[in-house]
């Protein structure tokens, strides 16, 4: 998925420049503005120190969470006591690492890249179903904490290979992990370890999700415990015949390049199979479906009282099948089939089986918008639970005791609220009211005085944000502590413009002078599954900093973005740029007509990932509108991006060659006539560095002027504070040079 991500590394390659010889105007950044940028960089966008991965204990007695210090990526594990309202430390990274460098396996680094995790120290944990034990992976070692006593014990292994994706069994008596492509199970009481899969090696591995699943399907696991802890379902992955991509560290050519099988659009995917094996060891029972028709294993769910359930897709992602698996025989029973002439979006929260196994919840866009359905154990539709025009976003949780579900929804795509709905049907009840974005999260319910407790996450339009701990009746038990530095809140105006009612955001300088004309910078993403206009102002702190340099910063969400219905989102099918670019231009012109202070003769555009692709395209195709552009980590040719993402929107290459040409930056490089700055990390394994190299080569051959800033050793994100400061200072200076300063009317 195209987005901003994690990483490490420290060195910036000197800029390669192809630009005019004219001296730029004064583009210095004021000291006070650089002070803000340093705070922004050193606190990782003011996120360090906030509670992360908070999880309610099954009995509602406590909340487990991760938190770092305000200027550190190193996280420790804490427990919040719901009755006392106090917090204690369960485990710190320094207790284990003790000042040494944390060494991560290549598989762990890749997974964190897919999860967009910049965290160090304790990056994640696993809580047993009964809530008594916590499994903590740290520095390639495994520790189990007994919550009642706080005692931690290291789980030793004599097997080779680092432990990957370790998880406790539902009964908390064993743990499983992957080592060198095989699954191992350890009995916690005796310490006995057993290898339960065989045959990995070469192109074959067991228990690890392939790249496409991790990056695009939201499926990071490659094995699943049975509810009774007696069996494990696992995937076998065979990458034979796939292309291998290599990443060389240009600052260390003496080092071997890293190599990865990569599913480039139009090429072979990993072959995935599924099997069930006894947790105590034994023969694997393979589960066979029509792999030729449905090569993608999109979801695997194995919940108490429900069958092992799998969701498989065809390569075009226009058809999917949900199957129940007989764990004794491996036989499949079809539960339902979904089709869509454009593509099917995956819903990570469903299927969700009811606690008694009588049926499951299912999310579908069959009616032209998301709706939540209750289906019988055999897949038959019982009833639709959400009304038309409701603005459903996702399933948040299920209260089996009260026969109710919780969902997030909003008819305003800039906000998100929580509702409860009876499983028997009826009108939804709104549970949140403050303007902004809300979500609830529930622990596994195991009985107890507060087993219905939940976490209420909020980020509001007035700038408040945090996580409340709430009792089942909604009363507040406490709030999870944040030690993060609070950002100065930006001044964001939200509005709806244009004939298509585009959602837009405007950020003006704090020193805004009425009557002046300001150059405009469009902050863009413009691609699927992401919004840039949000009721929470906290996401616009960097846009405020940029505006304070003498610009008005605007954002627009056009067709192709989510939360506006199926037709709106799927308007981009087979061509990712034409309609979104037209919408950005139309929305910008509508803003200019409304606000005279926007100087539409001096407009720049900037974005990262898909937004970088969009910025490059905007500069080349609409120089009449956009007079300068910054393209960060841009896709150049979607034939060089991954299969599951690209083919979902663009179709198969052989069936849509004209569309792929129209969406290819190289097609338009000869048209470039405005200043363009291209930025890309050399170690990016999401949008590979080849994309920017392909673009710069085409521009160079066409005799075009441009600037190119490679970031040596960086992947898709730039968490290093010093580099972050220099990077954004450079972007602001670029726009000052080419767009100029505010002018008196």
Classified as helix, coil or strand, 322 is strand
**Cβ of 153: how many Cβ atoms within 10 Å?**
13
Q: Say which residue the tokens 């991954």 belong to.
A: 642
Active-site choice (456, 680, 691, 716): 716
Identify which of 378, 384, 419 has the alpha carbon closest to the alpha carbon of residue 399.
419
Q: Say which residue the tokens 């390659």 belong to.
A: 13
What the block records as the tokens of 354 is: 């009811």
Our answer to whether residue 716 is catalytic in this structure is yes
HEC states along 352-420?
EECCCCCEEEEEECCCCCCEEEEEECCCCEEEECCCCCCCEEEEEEEECCCCEEEEEECCCCCCEEEEE
What whole-number distance in Å separates Cα of residue 126 and Cα of residue 105? 19
Active-site choice (609, 640, 691, 720): 609
Our answer to whether residue 403 is catalytic in this structure is no
What whole-number distance in Å separates Cα of residue 605 and Cα of residue 629? 5
Identify which of 663, 670, 695 has the alpha carbon closest to the alpha carbon of residue 680.
695
Task: Give the relative orientation of helices 610-621 and 578-594 as an angle to the nearest 10 degrees.
Answer: 80
Our answer to whether residue 394 is catalytic in this structure is no
Given a contact cutoff of 8 angstroms between Cβ atoms, the answer to whether 269 and 212 are in contact is: yes
Classified as helix, coil or strand, 733 is helix
Given a contact cutoff of 8 angstroms between Cβ atoms, the answer to whether 553 and 629 are in contact is: no
What whole-number distance in Å separates Cα of residue 426 and Cα of residue 430? 13
What the block records as the tokens of 445 is: 């319910």
Active-site choice (684, 691, 692, 728): 684
Identify which of 311, 472, 307 has the alpha carbon closest to the alpha carbon of residue 406.
472
Given a contact cutoff of 8 angstroms between Cβ atoms, the answer to whether 301 and 309 are in contact is: yes
Residues with catalytic function = 609, 684, 716
């Amino acid at each position: 998925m195209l987005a901003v991500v994690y990483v490490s590394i420290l060195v910036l390659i000197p800029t390669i420049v192809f630009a005019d010889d004219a001296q730029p105007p004064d583009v210095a950044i004021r000291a006070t503005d650089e002070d803000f940028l340093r705070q922004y960089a050193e606190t990782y966008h003011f996120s360090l120190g906030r509670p992360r991965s908070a999880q309610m204990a099954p009995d509602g007695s406590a909340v487990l969470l991760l938190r770092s210090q305000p200027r550190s990526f190193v996280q420790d594990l804490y427990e919040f006591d719901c009755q006392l309202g106090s917090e204690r430390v369960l485990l710190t990274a320094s207790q284990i690492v003790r000042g040494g460098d944390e060494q991560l396996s290549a598989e762990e680094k890749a997974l964190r890249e897919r999860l967009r995790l910049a965290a160090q120290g304790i990056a994640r944990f696993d809580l047993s179903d009964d809530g008594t034990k916590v499994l903590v992976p740290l520095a390639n070692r495994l520790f189990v904490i007994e919550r009642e006593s706080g005692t931690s014990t290291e789980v030793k292994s004599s097997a080779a290979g680092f432990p990957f994706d370790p998880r406790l069994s539902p009964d908390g008596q064993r743990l499983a992990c992957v080592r060198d492509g095989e699954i191992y199970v350890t009995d916690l009481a005796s310490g006995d370890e057993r290898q339960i899969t065989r045959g990995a090696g070469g192109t074959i591995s067991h228990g690890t999700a392939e790249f496409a699943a991790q990056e695009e399907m939201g499926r990071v696991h490659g094995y699943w415990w049975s509810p009774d802890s007696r069996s494990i379902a696992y995937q076998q992955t065979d990458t034979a015949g796939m292309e291998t991509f290599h990443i060389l560290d240009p600052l260390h050519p003496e080092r071997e390049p890293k190599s990865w099988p990569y599913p480039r659009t139009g090429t072979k995917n990993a072959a995935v199979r599924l099997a069930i094996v006894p947790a105590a060891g034994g023969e694997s029972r393979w589960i066979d479906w029509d792999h030729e028709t449905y090569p993608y294993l999109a979801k695997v769910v194995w919940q108490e009282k429900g069958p092992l359930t799998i969701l498989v897709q065809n390569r075009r992602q226009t058809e999917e099948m949900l199957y129940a698996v007989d764990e004794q025989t491996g036989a499949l029973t079809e539960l339902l089939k979904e089709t869509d002439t454009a593509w099917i979006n995956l819903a990570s929260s469903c299927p969700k089986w009811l606690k008694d196994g009588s049926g499951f919840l299912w999310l579908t866009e069959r009616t032209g918008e998301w709706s939540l359905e209750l289906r019988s154990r055999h897949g038959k539709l019982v009833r639709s639970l959400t009304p038309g025009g409701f603005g459903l976003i996702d399933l948040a949780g299920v209260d089996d005791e009260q026969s109710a579900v919780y969902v997030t929804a909003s008819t305003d795509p800039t906000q998100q609220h929580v509702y409860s709905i009876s499983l028997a049907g009826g009108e939804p009840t709104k549970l949140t009211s403050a303007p902004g974005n809300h979500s609830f999260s529930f622990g596994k319910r195991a009985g107890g005085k507060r087993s219905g407790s939940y976490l209420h996450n909020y980020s509001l339009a007035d700038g408040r944000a945090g996580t409340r701990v709430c009792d089942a009746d909604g009363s507040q038990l406490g709030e999870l502590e944040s030690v993060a530095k609070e950002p100065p809140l930006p001044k964001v105006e939200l509005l709806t413009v244009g004939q298509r009612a585009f959602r837009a955001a405007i950020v003006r300088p704090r020193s805004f002078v009425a009557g002046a004309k300001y150059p405009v910078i469009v902050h863009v993403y413009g691609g699927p599954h992401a919004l840039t206009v949000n009721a929470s102002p906290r996401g616009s702190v960097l846009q405020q900093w940029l505006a304070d340099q003498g610009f008005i910063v605007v954002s627009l969400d056009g067709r192709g973005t989510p939360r506006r219905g199926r037709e709106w989102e799927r308007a981009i099918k087979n061509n990712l740029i034409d309609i979104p670019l037209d919408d950005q231009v139309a929305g910008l012109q509508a803003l200019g007509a409304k606000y005279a202070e926007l100087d539409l003769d001096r407009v720049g555009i900037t974005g990262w990932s898909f937004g970088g692709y969009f910025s490059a395209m905007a500069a080349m195709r609409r120089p009449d509108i956009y007079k300068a552009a910054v393209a960060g980590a841009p896709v150049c040719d979607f034939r060089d991006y991954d299969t599951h993402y690209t083919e979902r929107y663009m179709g198969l290459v052989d069936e849509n060659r004209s569309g792929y040409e129209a969406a290819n930056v190289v097609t338009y490089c000869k048209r470039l006539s405005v200043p363009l700055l291209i930025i890309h990390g050399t170690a990016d394994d999401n949008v590979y560095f080849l994309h920017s190299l392909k673009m710069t080569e085409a521009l160079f051959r066409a005799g075009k002027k441009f600037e190119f800033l490679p970031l040596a050793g960086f992947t898709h994100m730039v968490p290093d504070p010093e580099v972050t400061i220099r990077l954004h200072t450079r972007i602001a200076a670029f726009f000052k040079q080419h767009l100029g300063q505010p002018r008196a009317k």
